Chain A
Amino acid sequence: MLSLTDVSVAYDGVVAVHDVSLEVPDGSILAVLGPSGCGKSTLLRAVAGLEPLTSGGISFDGRAVDRLPTHKRGFALMFQDGQLFAHMTVARNVGYALRLRRRPGIQRVHDLLSLVGLEGYADRLPATLSGGERQRVALARALAVEPRLLLLDEPLSALDAGLRERLAVDLRKILHAAGTTALMVTHDHDEAFQVADQLAVMRAGRVVQSGPIDAVWSAPADEETALFLGYARVLSGSAAATVLAAVGSGRESRVGPASSVSLALRRSALVADEHGRLSGTVESARATPEVLRLVVDVRDVGLVDAVAPRDSHWGPGEQVRLSVDPARVAPVGTNLD
């Protein structure tokens, strides 16, 4: 298990990582999610031993590692763009760490290449590979000596959207198959959800929320976190209460003291529904391949996003009734402890 205790890192006096404490249990994958410049990459480099800590400690299985040089930590780091050694073939790249340890590895290299779906690529040079293939090789190289911890720096963000989705699924499958403990940083919440089990949200050098991925997802700590997790709007006060009142089926409406809570809405949280409890005026409508996206001015709430079936027709100025999909709203700030 990797434990970070009050880790701080500063560059030239500027604090990039501030008192971060995290744990990654054996065999699980923790994603550190945050906007660019939030210090997540610095945190990863500190764990790898590439940046010295200003204060705090890093330990693995109870043993402090923060004084060890990078190559003695037994971790492996996979860079955003792979960082394959361009002068070595794919097989030599993958076998690099094995050769460092003087372990025979031809069979292991071939096993790894087939694990990442690149049989027959052994003698290719990195320059002849596509971006996705390069990342697969980088992954195989990082897994070669079964590192006790795999560090992933935005492993998929250099790839285009379709490839990213496919590789994310593969990545999760491969990591779980190998039983690898992994720490990954990313700015893309989709990537985090597709790969990780645990999530830590980082902002301005601090971890603002962490926990199992579903827990974080269903109860963001604050408005900014909610927006970063992909929620479209955050309502508060009476607007939140009105939407909350419309949640669910029957008469039991009246939300008591909890009406002070804020509510995060995904873009598809409100659905056009003639039996819906909310009503408003359509401001604009835009067709997408799957649904019709509306912006609706809802009475007592204000402007919100809503969706309607692809084949319905809505135009600006029309009155619409909306119902709330409870799975697509989340209370904000209730989880603060």
Chain B
Amino acid sequence: MRRWLTLALLAAGPVLVVAVFFVLPVGGMVARGFVSDGVLDPGGVLQVLARPRVARVAWFTVWSAAAATAISVLLGLPAAFVLHRLALPGRKMIRAALLVPFVLPTVVVGVAFRLLLGEAGPLGFLGLDGTPVAIVIGLVFFNLAVVIRAVGAAWESLDARPAEAAAALGASPVQVWWTVTLPALRPAIVSAASIVFLFCATAFGIVLTLGGVRYATVETEIYLLTTTLFDLQAAAALSVLQLVVVVALLGLAARLRAVPDATAARTSSRPRRIRSGDVPALAVTVLVLGLVAAPIVTLVLGSFRTEAGWSLGNYRALTGVGSNDALLVPVTEALLTSVRTAVDATWMALLMGLAVAVLVTRRSQSRSERRVRSLLDGFFMLPLGVSAVTLGFGFLITLDRPPVDLRDSALLVPIAQALVALPLVVRTLVPVLAGIDDRQRQAAASLGASPWRALLTVELPVVWKPLLAASGFAFAASLGEFGATSFLARDDNPTVPIVIFRLIGHPGELNFGMALAASVVLAGTTAVVMLAVERLRVPNVGAF
């Protein structure tokens, strides 16, 4: 009985939070799609989905995501090999640096790419600005890190001996790759690809800044329908469509991940010396580094360029509101708001994530208990399945009246960001907690340690580093969060990504310069946080 009581107590908080701030908004959003004027009207949803523009938007979403996924995997595999298997000098530094794009605020990346590919940019001659190609490249920029990290981690811990056994049986390096290495890596590759596809299909900030109105994905279309066209039913219909597709994709990804990879005996093998046969892989790695570095370098350089030549003018202007009163508050104030919001979001995500992680990793004693725990596990992964835009939209239409009226609460944005960050925290902590042998706790208990004491002795030493890493990750994610925040942040109290988006939407060279400077500040902050996290060397950060 006491077990169930503990379980219930531990579960109550997070369940309530997710119910109020996730199920309610998303449910309200779904209802909005199906009910018009107080009558159930599923035909309305179908009507929206039958619009030609919707079909175009859906098709664009699918093919751009598929193309970006394919390119990410093709470029990411050789880079993962080089950075995780070869004795390349400075490879740890490069690996840490490659993590930065993944947490860069999407708006910042959009700005950087526009600068790089724009008419006056270093790659302007390619004429890619405003084309779908630019969007795909932007998506690749983001998700290369995911592929390199996920596949690289699997590759690094891959036992080298099956490959050696194959070579000793007469298999050439190419044959070893096709018959031994690729089958062993397949689960990691498939799982990385499905996650990347998910990220690409729900990408928001990057598409909005690079695609404008012409090239919209389902995600940006929802935003446009809500904020510009006020067609809430259509937005809701698209959200429902996306919800269904994303949940199906997530389920598929989970099934693919669940494939038992008995092939992968986990060991850590020494990186080997570089041979002449590695040159193609090295070349691809250099290309990847170039692709990642180019926009960032362009962004940083651009932020120092003003009408009066090179200066810090753009940074000094951050204390103001831009030309033509582009903003209601100075950027510096938005930066403060951002940090405050991110701190709030971080502790919320951490508290919930820890409770959830403990909840789902404790060993069950009965079958019913196990079933309850696995149900809870799935329940808390739900926020991962819903795009930030859908969440923000749901907040907007449901939390503005009783029973929950948070329209003016300062906590609305942090709560939304915490929900977005929650799966990241859980994904980082669960493998660590699950890795603790239950007999360790039993040993502590048998030596006379109380449950709390056992927690301090057994769990804490293992968990504090991942906990710190998870908080850094949640903080960085909140800092750059744009999708949900763009719906919820009030004009007089915006976060930095919102401010950047607004600045690039306003004409004037100063405004664009300020957007660049603000982007550099935001990117620098997240990069520093992420590099600190990377130094903690927690294996599961950024693995999904």
Q: Determine the distance from Cα of A85 to Cα of B169 in the docked complex, in whole angstroms.
A: 12
At the interface, yes or no: A71 with Cβ under 8 Å from chain B?
yes
Assess whether B169 is in contact with A96, with CB atoms less than 8 Å apart: yes
Question: When the two chains form the complex, which single residue of A76, A85, A97, A142 contacts B180, counting CB atoms closer than 8 Å?
Answer: A85
Shortest distance in angstroms between B533's beta carbon and chain A's nearest beta carbon?
30
At the interface, yes or no: B2 with Cβ under 8 Å from chain A?
no
At the interface, yes or no: A89 with Cβ under 8 Å from chain B?
no
Chain B residues with CB under 8 Å of A45's CB are 164
Assess whether B262 is in contact with A77, with CB atoms less than 8 Å apart: no
At the interface, yes or no: A86 with Cβ under 8 Å from chain B?
yes
Q: Is the interface of A mostly helix, strand, loop or mixed?
A: mixed
At the interface, yes or no: A63 with Cβ under 8 Å from chain B?
no
Q: Evaluate whether A100 and B175 lie within 8 angstroms (CB atoms) in the complex, with A85-B263, A145-B170 already known.
A: yes
Chain A residues with CB under 8 Å of B180's CB are 85
Shortest distance in angstroms between A247's beta carbon and chain B's nearest beta carbon?
48
Q: Determine the distance from Cα of A96 to Cα of B184 in the docked complex, in whole angstroms.
A: 16
For the side of the interface on B, what is the size category?
Answer: 20 to 34
- The contact string, 1 if C-beta is below 8 Å from chain A, for chain B 135-167, is 000000000000000000000000101101111
Shortest distance in angstroms between B85's beta carbon and chain A's nearest beta carbon?
15
A residues 68-84 with Cβ under 8 Å of B? 69-72, 74-77, 79, 83
Chain B residues with CB under 8 Å of A142's CB are 169
Shortest distance in angstroms between A99's beta carbon and chain B's nearest beta carbon?
8
Q: Evaluate whether A97 and B170 lie within 8 angstroms (CB atoms) in the complex, with A77-B164, A77-B165, A85-B179 already known.
A: yes
Assess whether B166 is in contact with A79, with CB atoms less than 8 Å apart: no
Assess whether A96 is in contact with B179, with CB atoms less than 8 Å apart: yes
Question: When the two chains form the complex, which single residue of B168, B172, B176 contacts A77, counting CB atoms closer than 8 Å?
Answer: B168
User: Looking across the interface, which residue of chain A has its beta carbon closest to that of B163?
Assistant: A83
Chain B residues with CB under 8 Å of A74's CB are 170
Q: Determine the distance from Cα of A83 to Cα of B179 in the docked complex, in whole angstroms.
A: 14
User: Looking across the interface, which residue of chain B has its beta carbon closest to that of A45?
Assistant: B164
B residues 159-207 with Cβ under 8 Å of A? 159, 161-162, 164-173, 175-176, 179-180, 183-184
At the interface, yes or no: A50 with Cβ under 8 Å from chain B?
yes
At the interface, yes or no: A127 with Cβ under 8 Å from chain B?
yes
Chain A residues with CB under 8 Å of B171's CB are 71, 96-97, 100
Assess whether A100 is in contact with B170, with CB atoms less than 8 Å apart: yes
Q: Determine the distance from Cα of A74 to Cα of B170 in the docked complex, in whole angstroms.
A: 7
A residues 101-153 with Cβ under 8 Å of B? 101, 127, 141-142, 144-145, 151
Question: When the two chains form the complex, which single residue of B161, B166, B168, B179 contacts A151, counting CB atoms closer than 8 Å?
Answer: B168
Q: Evaluate whether A83 and B169 lie within 8 angstroms (CB atoms) in the complex, with A96-B179, A100-B175, A127-B262 already known.
A: no
Chain A residues with CB under 8 Å of B176's CB are 71
Chain B residues with CB under 8 Å of A151's CB are 168
Q: Determine the distance from Cα of A100 to Cα of B170 in the docked complex, in whole angstroms.
A: 7
Shortest distance in angstroms between B524's beta carbon and chain A's nearest beta carbon?
38
Question: When the two chains form the complex, which single residue of A69, A83, A101 contacts B165, counting CB atoms closer than 8 Å?
Answer: A83
Shortest distance in angstroms between A251's beta carbon and chain B's nearest beta carbon?
60
Assess whether B183 is in contact with A70, with CB atoms less than 8 Å apart: no
User: Looking across the interface, which residue of chain B has its beta carbon closest to that of A11?
Assistant: B270
Assess whether A71 is in contact with B167, with CB atoms less than 8 Å apart: yes
Assess whether A76 is in contact with B175, with CB atoms less than 8 Å apart: no
User: Looking across the interface, which residue of chain B has its beta carbon closest to that of A126?
Assistant: B262
- The contact string, 1 if C-beta is below 8 Å from chain B, for chain A 37-53, is 00000000100111000
Q: Determine the distance from Cα of A50 to Cα of B173 in the docked complex, in whole angstroms.
A: 13
Assess whether A71 is in contact with B263, with CB atoms less than 8 Å apart: no
Q: Determine the distance from Cα of A144 to Cα of B166 in the docked complex, in whole angstroms.
A: 13
Chain A residues with CB under 8 Å of B165's CB are 77, 79, 83
At the interface, yes or no: A275 with Cβ under 8 Å from chain B?
no
Chain A residues with CB under 8 Å of B170's CB are 71-72, 74, 76, 97, 100-101, 145
At the interface, yes or no: A87 with Cβ under 8 Å from chain B?
yes
Shortest distance in angstroms between A202's beta carbon and chain B's nearest beta carbon?
21
User: Looking across the interface, which residue of chain A has its beta carbon closest to that of B168?
Assistant: A77
Count chain A CB atoms within 10 A of each CB in B161, B168, B263 and give the residue with the most: B168
User: Looking across the interface, which residue of chain A has its beta carbon closest to that of B159?
Assistant: A83
Question: When the two chains form the complex, which single residue of B164, B169, B184 contacts A100, counting CB atoms closer than 8 Å?
Answer: B169
Chain A residues with CB under 8 Å of B183's CB are 85, 87
Chain A residues with CB under 8 Å of B167's CB are 49-50, 69-71
Chain A residues with CB under 8 Å of B161's CB are 79, 83
Q: Determine the distance from Cα of A100 to Cα of B169 in the docked complex, in whole angstroms.
A: 9
Question: When the two chains form the complex, which single residue of B164, B169, B262 contacts A141, counting CB atoms closer than 8 Å?
Answer: B169
Assess whether A97 is in contact with B169, with CB atoms less than 8 Å apart: yes
Q: Determine the distance from Cα of A74 to Cα of B167 in the docked complex, in whole angstroms.
A: 10
User: Looking across the interface, which residue of chain A has its beta carbon closest to that of B264?
Assistant: A86
Chain A residues with CB under 8 Å of B263's CB are 85-87
Shortest distance in angstroms between A116's beta carbon and chain B's nearest beta carbon?
16
Shortest distance in angstroms between B212's beta carbon and chain A's nearest beta carbon?
47
Chain B residues with CB under 8 Å of A50's CB are 164, 167-168
Assess whether A96 is in contact with B164, with CB atoms less than 8 Å apart: no
Shortest distance in angstroms between A97's beta carbon and chain B's nearest beta carbon?
4
Assess whether A70 is in contact with B175, with CB atoms less than 8 Å apart: no
Shortest distance in angstroms between A87's beta carbon and chain B's nearest beta carbon?
5
- The contact string, 1 if C-beta is below 8 Å from chain A, for chain B 370-404, is 00000000000000000000000000000000000
Assess whether A83 is in contact with B162, with CB atoms less than 8 Å apart: yes
Chain A residues with CB under 8 Å of B184's CB are 87
Shortest distance in angstroms between A158's beta carbon and chain B's nearest beta carbon?
13
Chain B residues with CB under 8 Å of A145's CB are 169-170
Shortest distance in angstroms between B263's beta carbon and chain A's nearest beta carbon?
4
Count chain B CB atoms within 10 A of each CB in A72, A74, A87, A144 and give the residue with the most: A87
Shortest distance in angstroms between B188's beta carbon and chain A's nearest beta carbon?
14
Assess whether B164 is in contact with A48, with CB atoms less than 8 Å apart: yes
User: Looking across the interface, which residue of chain B has its beta carbon closest to that of A153?
Assistant: B161
Chain A residues with CB under 8 Å of B175's CB are 71, 100
Shortest distance in angstroms between A45's beta carbon and chain B's nearest beta carbon?
8
Q: Would you mind naming 26 contact pairs between A and B with Cβ atoms under 8 Å apart? A: A48-B168, A49-B168, A70-B164, A71-B167, A71-B173, A75-B168, A76-B169, A77-B164, A77-B169, A79-B161, A79-B165, A83-B162, A85-B263, A86-B262, A87-B183, A87-B184, A87-B262, A96-B179, A97-B170, A97-B171, A100-B170, A100-B175, A101-B170, A127-B262, A141-B169, A151-B168
Q: Which residues of B contact A (CB under 8 A)?
A: 159, 161-162, 164-173, 175-176, 179-180, 183-184, 262-263
Which 8 A-B residue pairs are closest in the complex by CB-CB distance?
A77-B168, A70-B167, A97-B169, A83-B165, A86-B262, A86-B263, A87-B183, A71-B167
Sample of 20 further A-B pairs with CB below 8 A, known A50-B168, A77-B168:
A45-B164, A71-B170, A71-B171, A71-B176, A72-B170, A76-B168, A77-B164, A79-B164, A83-B162, A83-B164, A85-B183, A85-B263, A86-B262, A86-B263, A96-B169, A97-B169, A101-B170, A142-B169, A144-B169, A145-B169
